[in-house]
Every structure is written in structure tokens, then in C-alpha cells.
Amino acid sequence: MIVAYIDAYKHQFGVEPICRVLRDHHVPIAPSTYYAHKSRPRSARSLSDERLLPIVKTVHRENYSVYGVRKMWHALRRRGEALGRDQVARLMRAAGLRGVSRRRRMRPNVPALPVFRAPDLVQRSWVRHAPDVVWVADFTYVPTREGWVYVSFLQDAFSRRILGFVVAAGKTAALVTRTLLQAVNVRQRSSASFVADGVIVHSDAGSQYTSLAFTEKLLDLGLAPSIGRVGTAYDNALIESTIGSYKTELVHRRGHGWDGREDIELATARWVAWFNHQRLHEHLGYSTPIEIEEAYIHQQGLPRQAA
């Protein structure tokens, strides 16, 4: 560190004067010591760090600057950099990089008390062995200069892939219904044999998900509605976790705030594409949702929608 300091200012003040000032401030270093250090061959570690630091910075930046040590370690290994976790941690410290942590989420949904409410068909069993067995749905809100904006998500429980998202100015039944239709369209475009019959769509007991419009659309498509208990976030924990990541990795990181719905919509589209295609997920063995679905499809002898 002292040598680097001298390097930074020697052209302005000279090596000997800097060494005298440092000695006066109880940081003794002789000019001969400095020159001896500069003439010494660089260590293998120093040369390695010089090559790796730009790579570490690039990988961190390409992933919304949110990865901590574990995900950075996996991401670098996927790029062919056989580093240890401690080495990654040291390089991140040297580059001034760190992961992000989540804030506690505030609930935007208002529990409804309908005459009829669907049963909980999931019972917090988030581990599924095939896609399109259970879809989970929820929405959140984002403050903007134009007012509140609401973002609805629908996600496959097996692959964690976000199948649909909609951004709107109101938290209506249309918000969540459009997200549902978007998810069905995504599956139909990717597979002509896809049928929605029997897919469980799990949500909380918010009024949007218990509305007549949303319930009728589920039944029209052959989807099976499932609703967790009122006031229990764990009954919808999978999508709660995804929305927590969305708020932490995208929404809260905009220091100057959001302009309005279009601003949120464009940024969310980019984040969803990254989430599905690039983001490493610990619960998926540090794979991406798209990789998990492609690996499933390539398995021989397995139906597209196994129970």
C-alpha cells in the first residue's frame, strides 16, 4: 500500500521527499527500500490478480451488481475460471464489490373474504419434479414519480422460470388475469402440445385472486385454483422470494427513483430476461431456469407435464 502511494505521487513530489514526509508521520520507509521493492520480480499472485480483477468486475456488473461471494464463485467457474471461494472473496474485497441483502417486504394485497375460496392444493410443497405442475402468482408495488405502479408475476414452481409479468397503474383483477394469459401464451408458443388442463395456479387470498373474473378465467383454461391461508406469507413463499429478489436486485437499486409505468416496464422486462436466462439460482444447483427446463425436456421417456 505504501509503495502504491509513492507510485501515485512520485512524479509530483519525488520519491525521497515523500519518504521523508512518511517518516515524519511514523510510516518509515527508506528510498532504497522502495527501489528494491520496485526492482523485485512481481509475484505469481500479483500477476494473477491483475488478470482476474477486471473479469470479476465484469461478471459482477453483468449480473446487476448483486452477486455475493457464493454466486460470484459459481459464475466465475462457469466462465472457466477455476478459483477457490476464498480467492473470490479476496478479489471482491480488493475490487470493492459486495452482494446485496433484502429488505422486509410490505404486503400490497388486501385479503378477501369470498363466499367460496379455493383450497390450498400445494401445502407449501414447492419441490416439484416437472414443469407446469404448479404455477405460483403474486404482485408487488413500486413507487414512481407518477404514483404507485403494480407489477404482477407468475412463475413455474419446478424451474423457477417467470412465465408472465404485467405492469399496471392499478391493482385490479385485470392485472393478474393478464399475467395468467401471458404465461399460457408463453407455454403455447414454446410447445404446440402444451395444455393448461390440471396445472395448479397457487396464490394468496388477495381480492384480485379470489375475484370472479380471475376464477372464471382459470376454469375456462382448465387450470386448478389454489389459495393459501390469509396472513401467512409462508403459504406463498416461493413467489414471495422471487419478488423479494426483484425488489432487492432491481427496484431498490435505482438511486434516483423511477419515472413511471413505462420506466418500470422496460427495466422489469430486462430483469426477467436476466432472471430466466442468466441468473444463477442456489435452489437450482446454481443453474438458470431455462437450463433446468432444457435439461428436463432432453431427458428421455418423461412426459412434458409429469405429476
Contacts 24+ apart (CB under 8 A), 209-213: 209/137, 209/176, 210/112, 210/114, 210/117, 210/118, 211/112, 211/173, 212/173, 213/173, 213/174, 213/177
- Helix orientation angle between 173-190 and 212-221, rounded to the nearest 10 degrees: 20
CB 37 within 8 A of CB 4: no
Tens-digit pLDDT profile for residues 248-258: 999 998 878 89
User: Is the pLDDT reported for residue 115 higher than 80?
Assistant: no
What average pLDDT does this structure show over 35-59? 85
Tens-digit pLDDT profile for residues 66-88: 999 999 999 999 999 989 999 99
What average pLDDT does this structure show over 43-68? 90
Rounded to the nearest angstrom, the gap between the alpha carbon of residue 263 and the centroid of all alpha carbons in its chain is: 19
- Of 160, 140, 162, 134, which is closest to residue 152 (Cα–Cα)? 140
Tens-digit pLDDT profile for residues 238-287: 999 999 999 999 999 887 889 999 999 999 999 999 999 999 999 999 99
Q: Which of 17-21, 26-30, 107-111 has the lowest mean pLDDT?
A: 107-111
pLDDT of residue 307: 45
Q: Which of 21-35, 37-51, 138-152 has the lowest mean pLDDT?
A: 37-51
Backbone angles phi, psi at 298, to 5 degrees: -80, -10
CA distance 148 to 260: 8
Counting DSSP H helices and E strands in the chain, the numbers are 11, 5
Average pLDDT score, the chain: 88
Burial class (CB in 10 A: 0-12, 13-18, 19+), 181: middle
Strands 147-156, 224-227: pairing is unpaired
User: Is the pLDDT reported for residue 215 higher than 60?
Assistant: yes
pLDDT of residue 235: 74
Q: Across the strands, what pairs with 42?
A: none
Rounded percentage of the chain residues whose pLDDT exceeds 90: 63
Strand order in the sheet with 134-144: 162-168, 147-156, 134-144, 200-203, 224-227
Helix (H) or strand (E) holding 226: strand 224-227
CB 232 within 8 A of CB 254: no
User: Is the pLDDT reported for residue 111 higher than 60?
Assistant: no
Sign of the Cα pseudo-torsion (222, 265, 207, 105, in order): positive
CB 254 within 8 A of CB 164: no
User: Is the pLDDT reported for residue 183 higher than 90?
Assistant: yes
201 or 103, higher pLDDT:
201
pLDDT of residue 233: 61
User: Is the pLDDT reported for residue 204 higher than 60?
Assistant: yes
pLDDT of residue 41: 73
Total count of residues recorded for the chain: 307
End-to-end CA distance of the chain: 60
CA distance 104 to 113: 26
